[in-house]
Amino acid sequence: MNNKLKTYRRKPSIAKNIFFIPVLVALFFSCDKKEGHNDYEKVKSPIKLSAEIPVDVNPELQAKLKEEGDIYQLNEVFNEYSWQAFVAVFWPTDKKGNPKPNFTDKGKAAWLGWKEAFQVYRQDGGVPAPWESKRDDGGFIKFTNEIVNDTTARIFLSSVTPTGRKRAKNVADETDQAFAGKLYDQNGNVVVYEVLMNKEEYDYVVTNKLYNINGQIDFTKNGAIADFPAGDYEKNALGAVEIKFAWKILEKDDHKERYYRNWGYIEGKDGKLIKKELGMIGFHISQKTPTGKQWVWSTFEQIDNLDQNVMEKDKKKKVIHPSLTDPNCEICPVNVDVSNGTTYTHNTGVHGDYWTISGDTTDKYFANSDVMKTQAKRMIDIPVRVQQINQKMQAYFKSQNSVFQYYQLIDTQYPLHQNISPDSHTEEGYKLPGSITNKSGGEPNLAYLTNITMETFFQGGNQSASNFMEDNPASDITVFGTESCIGCHSSATIYTGYDIKTKTFTQSNNQLSGDFSWLLSQKAVWNKKIPKPWGK
């Protein structure tokens, strides 16, 4: 290793694993530059741009900064790493999946070659199609020929009605947030989601037959737990990576030029699929690295989600209405969860209009509209150190006329010392703050990290400490809390067996058995071609 420390190591082969899927479209890149040309003389990128996802932040640099106690600079380096991963995931490729010369070239985004979670964890529990195969329905839903042959849209499902969501079809949870309900934008539309994985994670799941409950039980019968590949910094080998998108339906009044856009089919009230233009409002990257067995968590949002921004057009300035909150309603209740299975009713009362929500202990929520809209509020501000790198990246993207000038990193969460075990979380033995801040093990650099588009309803503020500890032991201590990517995902588990008496499948009681991927326990089903252990 040279004396001069390199910040990152990248795997040069990621783009070779990308293939073009006809059902999926190229990104709307909002770039007027001719291919092969970049205007670096205008604003230079603050990071080195590459089509290759960083394998890790240089371990020697990490060790040096930790020894010096300079965690502020270490956080800055990891935030640069997050932006590099973001750029690599969206890097344009040609029809053969090879990366274009420049990030601003037109082409299919690299992530379009990754596998959707529902393609791997099929609804029928079957074997996933080969990595090189075209996107199929995966036992998800039988599409019409018109939809299958549509080369301009991705496929989503969303129930726009307050009840009757067709969960049997919606196995990938495209409308509900993690362990919560639906997020409604200011147009009253439901935000939709999707999760994808890279080839390294796909290969591990398929090789070990973890894509269904049957395979997971066989895998764990001798005590094994999930252990996704972490990559190798010296060999430039990438580890497992998952990405998650949050998309909003774009209406005619939305400023579409400010969104990374795509097309998708949304399920209407009559069950029919309607083609809609979608805008990315949230994006999440989780990556297992050689120095981060608790994974590294990078989360991004579109800048108009919560903030009132000003745009200038034809020498006139216009204030943009945020997409996930109404700044004109100061008394609207924030982060109200309309969970799956609930109903909500708009009422007109003597003292003002209000919502009632089934199963909610709050009697009435003030309403300033008869259309359900989520009033989202971020409880933890974006740190100044993150704002600084965001401003530099946005200035660069603006100079390139790229749509990504309208996106921002929220923060990066990672372990400082990956081999440190989780703190105690038993009712008798828990001790704050460690039982919360080190719930996952690894001593994360941040206690909390959330994305307002994906963890809206965890923005609760003062709550019982129980809510943030493993197994939720009884606690009479109140703390401030939102949620932690690392902490939440440390609870992910894997199937280990079944209970004949209750006719249920059982999961491991080992906190880290799912290796920080909820897909294993939340998406896997029993292979329907094999009789269940207790019969029909």
Q: SS3 of 60, please?
A: helix
The pLDDT tens digits of the residues spanning 196-229 come to 999 999 999 999 999 999 999 999 999 999 999 9
Give whole-number Cα distances, 138 to 115, 327, 512, in Å.
11, 42, 28
Q: Which of 109-113, 180-184, 208-212 has the highest mean pLDDT?
A: 208-212
Residue 357 belongs to a domain: no
pLDDT given at position 17: 34
The pLDDT tens digits of the residues spanning 471-528 come to 999 999 999 999 999 999 999 999 999 999 999 999 999 999 999 999 999 999 999 8
pLDDT given at position 339: 82
User: What's the CA angle centered on 496, arms 494 and 499, to 5 degrees?
Assistant: 125
pLDDT over 90 percentage in the chain? 73
pLDDT given at position 402: 96
Compute φ and ψ for 216, nearest 5 degrees: -65, -40
Residue 99 belongs to a domain: yes
pLDDT given at position 284: 97
Q: Above 80 in pLDDT, residue 422?
A: yes
Q: Above 60 in pLDDT, residue 164?
A: no
pLDDT given at position 152: 63
Buried b (16+ CB within 10 A) or exposed e, 46-58: ebebbbbbbbbbb
Can you read off the two tokens belonging to residue 71?
């965690």
If one counts every other C-beta atom within 10 angstroms of the C-beta of residue 185, the result is: 24
Q: Above 70 in pLDDT, residue 142?
A: no
**Which of 309-313, 368-372, 503-507 has the lowest average pLDDT?**
309-313
Residue 50 belongs to a domain: yes
Instruction: Return the bridge partners of 316, or none.
Output: 313
Residue 84 belongs to a domain: yes
**Are the C-beta atoms of residues 307 and 319 closer than 8 Å to each other?**
no
Residue 218 belongs to a domain: no
Q: Above 80 in pLDDT, residue 41?
A: no
Q: Above 70 in pLDDT, residue 137?
A: no
Q: Above 80 in pLDDT, residue 31?
A: no
Residue 494 belongs to a domain: no
Q: Above 80 in pLDDT, residue 114?
A: yes
Residue 21 belongs to a domain: yes
Q: How many domains does the chain have?
A: 1
What integer is the mean pLDDT of 305-332?
94
Q: Above 50 in pLDDT, residue 22?
A: no
The pLDDT tens digits of the residues spanning 244-299 come to 999 999 999 999 999 999 988 777 777 677 888 999 999 999 999 999 999 999 99
pLDDT given at position 103: 93
What integer is the mean pLDDT of 329-345?
91
Instruction: Return the bridge partners of 283, or none.
Output: 245, 300
**Which of 14-23, 259-268, 426-435 has the lowest average pLDDT?**
14-23
pLDDT given at position 315: 85
Query: Could you give the CA distance from residue 286 to residue 239 in angstroms, rounded to a whole number?
Result: 10
Q: Above 80 in pLDDT, residue 144?
A: no
User: Which band of pLDDT confidence, cut at 50, 70 and 90, is reported for residue 405?
Assistant: very high
User: What's the CA angle centered on 372, arms 368 and 373, to 5 degrees?
Assistant: 80
Q: Above 80 in pLDDT, residue 159?
A: no
pLDDT given at position 9: 56
Q: Above 80 in pLDDT, residue 148?
A: no
More confident site: 64 or 112: 64
pLDDT given at position 161: 31
What integer is the mean pLDDT of 16-35?
36
Q: Above 50 in pLDDT, residue 139?
A: no
Residue 244 belongs to a domain: no
What integer is the mean pLDDT of 424-450?
96
Q: How many helices (H) and strands (E) does the chain have?
A: 10, 21
Q: Please give the biggest Cα pair distance in the chain.
A: 75
Compute φ and ψ for 408, nearest 5 degrees: -145, 145
Range of the domain at 43: 8-109
